[in-house]
Amino acid sequence: MNRPSTTRKTSTRRQAPLDFSQLRDNATQAARLLRALSNENRLMLLCMLFERERTVSELNESLPLSQSALSQHLAVLRDEGLVKTRREAQSIYYGLASQPAQRVVETLHSIYCPEGC
């Protein structure tokens, strides 16, 4: 009688040992990004900046936030390296800075705003 084999086939390819230090660093970076994205107002700011660069005035007109609250949210995003600024005459333009932020916002946009918001 043929009995099925109970031994597992093992791959001849060796897996690299898990680098816990690198894993911790990556998890820390991901947690910081997700913490910045966890606030509705900051998420809306990033979604607006996903479409194009905007001035502080444009952002302030589009979101129901006080000037000081907007500045605080933009400071958090700037400190986390998620947005960048550039000055043109009297205007300061904000845009998405980091590739991970762009990819996450793009993914969220495709899920929650597939036909535009």
Who contacts 98 (Cβ-Cβ below 8 Å, separation ≥6)?
Answer: 33, 81, 82
| Residue 1 counted as domain residue | no
Instruction: Enter the tokens of residue 114.
Output: 């597939």
CATH of residue 98's domain is 1.10.10.10
> pLDDT tens, 4-13?
555 555 556 6
What is the count of structural domains for the chain?
A: 1
Could you list the residue range(s) of the whole structural domain that residue 65 is in?
A: 40-112
Q: In this prediction, what percent of the chain has a pLDDT beyond 70?
A: 86
At 99, which helix (H) or strand (E)?
A: helix 99-112
| Residue 85 counted as domain residue | yes
| Residue 22 counted as domain residue | no
**Cα 31 to Cα 27, 34, 46, 67, distances in angstroms:** 6, 5, 17, 27
- Spans of the chain, pLDDT less than 50: none
What pLDDT is recorded for position 52? 93
